Amino acid sequence: MCRSYSSGKATVVLTPKDMFVWTGISCSRILTSTLYKTLFTRKVHLISLVDRAVPLPLCTRRIAPVQLYPKRTMSMYQGGGSNNQEDGGVRVIDMRSDTITKPTPAMRQAMAEAEVGDDVYGEDPTVNALQEKVAKLFGMEAALFVPTGTMGNFCSIMAHCWERGSEMLLGDCAHIFIYEQGGSAQLGGIHPRTVRNKPDGTFDLGEVESKIRTSDPHLPITRLICVENTQNICGGRVLPLSFLQELRSLADRHKLLVHMDGARLMNAATALNVPPSEILQYCDSVSMCLSKGLGAPVGSVIGGKKDFIARCVRLRKVLGGGMRQAGVLAAAGLLAITDGAARLHQDHDNARTIAEGIHSMDPSVLQIDLNAVQSNIIVFELVSHAVTPGQFCEMLNTYDPSDSLDVNVRVPMYPTDFKRGIRCVTHHHINAEDAQLVLKKFRVVVNSMAGMAKKMKITDK
Ligand SMILES: *Cc1c(COP(=O)(O)O)cnc(C)c1O
């Protein structure tokens, strides 16, 4: 059964396959751009045509039918789309995040065959093996497997800020500060105080020093400094070792602890071409995600001194993170820290390729700072105001029948907090050929925007 809405000279038909079919509209490039422009300037999302039966744009000529594939309503991290799969004949390359990665066949096999026990009793051999290996990798006394990065950070912060009235200093772009519900304050009673993140993910150490509290009963007790490596919001920036070294000596002077949110620590190590222990020599603790670029389905690991990890074990339990036969998950983690880490340089190369491709496109539409692309995250800026960043993302994920490229690219519908910045991320479902396809799609969209801008100027006159 098909439902159809018509208005003036155009008709939209919703087929049972959820595919929108425009009839009575030319699919020549110019009219397709007009269609886009009209849709976007009216802020009509394709899905809303069905929901609200919005009148269709008026088109003057009647040639071939136009087919547009369905737009799913999606927020940054939601959406039913599967990564890199065919979607009604259109290949979808999903660049929203490296969290969308699915376990490799080898991981699934290792999970199926994992030896397990009750990890709350410390009896899961695979979890224990993972923790030992990770502790070595980190160059730290001990490690602990936790369900998520958020829990890893939270346990670490709580373990360090054991005393009531404690305060931590951290960057104002820190994941811990922005994306973890303020859990350290909400649940832990720890006071966060921010210092301004520089675009390179570091912060001014003078500012840090100026914010360390003196001993005064009016004031909280500064206890901890948190850094993030790679720095996500700053575009996957890798913290220089010299910065970490200076931070360490500052922390030592003031008897403070340093925690690294190393969700993407292995990306930082890969970019610097050093073992992670070389980065972590300046930190008291770290939390690293196994479930991002490393490809495990679930899990993070915390590293630190033995007594710190003992506190984290207690905290993990009260937070509900004590898992039983968790070896099934740790088995994937073991492959994540070996095979997963070994291939991260490919993600970095592909990110580089995409960044350079974007750099070569019309700078009145897109701009990118190539120096800022250091790992698997690419942030570029939409400087053209012909469309909003959200609309731009939508165009990347819309099949344009006027070109022969059967590829859609998914990037977050909601761009980063920065101006008109848009973030995309490479991961193990995107290979070198895909990177070229992504660029082709970008070119199609950028060209159609150039067409739109011209048309708009003409109509303005
Ligand atoms: C993803 C992420 C986290 C949190 O990890 P979850 O497993 O999603 O809870 C923490 N810090 C940074 C920088 C991240 O990117």
Domain ranges of the chain: 1-71, 83-101+343-461, 105-341
Q: How far is CA 233 from each of CA 5, 219, 238, 396, rounded to the nearest angstrom?
A: 42, 30, 12, 22
289 lines ligand 1 (CB under 6 A): yes
Residue 114 and residue 329: Cα distance in Å, rounded?
9
Q: How far is the CA of 448 from the centre of ligand 1 (A)?
A: 36
Residues 6+ apart with CB under 8 A from 294: 266, 336, 337, 340, 341, 344
233, 237, 289: residue to mutate for ligand 1 pocket, most atoms within 8 A of CB: 289
Put the strands of the sheet holding 142-146 in their side by side order. Answer: 142-146, 300-304, 285-289, 257-261, 221-228, 166-171, 191-195
3-state secondary structure of 407: strand
Q: How far is the CA of 264 from the centre of ligand 1 (A)?
A: 8
Element (H, E) at 266: helix 265-272
229 lines ligand 1 (CB under 6 A): no
Using the atom order of ligand 1, give the atom closest to the CA of residue 231: 13
170 lines ligand 1 (CB under 6 A): no
Ligand 1, atom 8, lies closest to the CA of: 149
Residue 431 and residue 353: Cα distance in Å, rounded?
11
263 lines ligand 1 (CB under 6 A): yes
- In this prediction, residue 412 carries a pLDDT of 81
3-state secondary structure of 302: strand
Put the strands of the sheet holding 66-68 in their side by side order. Answer: 3-7, 10-14, 20-23, 66-68
375 lines ligand 1 (CB under 6 A): no
Taking CA 115 as the corner, what is the angle to CA 113 and CA 119, rounded to the nearest 5 degrees?
135
Element (H, E) at 315: helix 306-318
Closest among 414, 458, 446, 424 to 36, alpha carbons compared: 446
Query: What is the CB-side half-sphere exposure of residue 23 using CA atoms within 13 A?
Result: 8
179, 228, 425: residue to mutate for ligand 1 pocket, most atoms within 8 A of CB: 179
98, 150, 286, 376: residue to mutate for ligand 1 pocket, most atoms within 8 A of CB: 150
Secondary structure (DSSP) of 423-442: EEE--TT--HHHHHHHHHHH
Look at the alpha carbons of 364, 40, 353, 355 in this order and tell me if their dihedral is positive or negative: positive
154, 170, 228, 261: residue to mutate for ligand 1 pocket, most atoms within 8 A of CB: 261
232 lines ligand 1 (CB under 6 A): yes
- In this prediction, residue 455 carries a pLDDT of 66
Using the atom order of ligand 1, give the atom closest to the CA of residue 148: 7
Residue 265 and residue 287: Cα distance in Å, rounded?
8
- In this prediction, residue 66 carries a pLDDT of 37
Whether 379 and 406 have beta carbons less than 8 Å apart is answered as no
Whether 426 and 378 have beta carbons less than 8 Å apart is answered as yes
Instruction: Catalogue the E-assigned strands of 211-317.
Output: 221-228, 257-261, 285-289, 300-304
C-beta atoms surrounding 115 within 10 Å? 12
Look at the alpha carbons of 150, 153, 157, 158 in this order and tell me if their dihedral is positive or negative: positive
Q: How far is the CA of 289 from the centre of ligand 1 (A)?
A: 7
pLDDT tens across the length of the chain (461 residues):
333 433 333 434 333 333 333 433 333 333 444 455 444 444 333 433 333 333 344 333 332 333 343 333 333 333 333 445 565 678 899 999 999 999 999 999 999 999 999 999 999 999 999 999 999 999 999 999 999 999 999 999 999 999 999 999 999 999 999 999 999 999 999 999 999 999 999 999 999 999 999 999 999 999 999 999 999 999 999 999 999 999 999 999 999 999 999 999 999 999 999 999 999 999 999 999 999 999 999 999 999 999 999 999 999 999 999 999 999 999 999 999 999 999 999 999 999 999 999 999 999 999 999 999 999 999 999 999 888 888 899 999 988 777 777 899 999 876 555 668 899 999 999 999 999 999 999 999 998 887 776 666 655 54
- In this prediction, residue 12 carries a pLDDT of 41
3-state secondary structure of 330: helix
Ligand 1, atom 15, lies closest to the CA of: 263
Whether 349 and 132 have beta carbons less than 8 Å apart is answered as no
C-beta atoms surrounding 303 within 10 Å? 33
Residue 389 and residue 365: Cα distance in Å, rounded?
11
- CATH number for the region 105-341 comes to 3.40.640.10
423 lines ligand 1 (CB under 6 A): no
Element (H, E) at 246: helix 241-253
**Do the two domains 83-101+343-461 and 105-341 of this chain adopt the same fold?**
no
Q: How far is the CA of 417 from the centre of ligand 1 (A)?
A: 17
148 lines ligand 1 (CB under 6 A): yes
Domain 83-101+343-461 has CATH 3.90.1150.10: yes
Q: How far is the CA of 257 from the centre of ligand 1 (A)?
A: 21
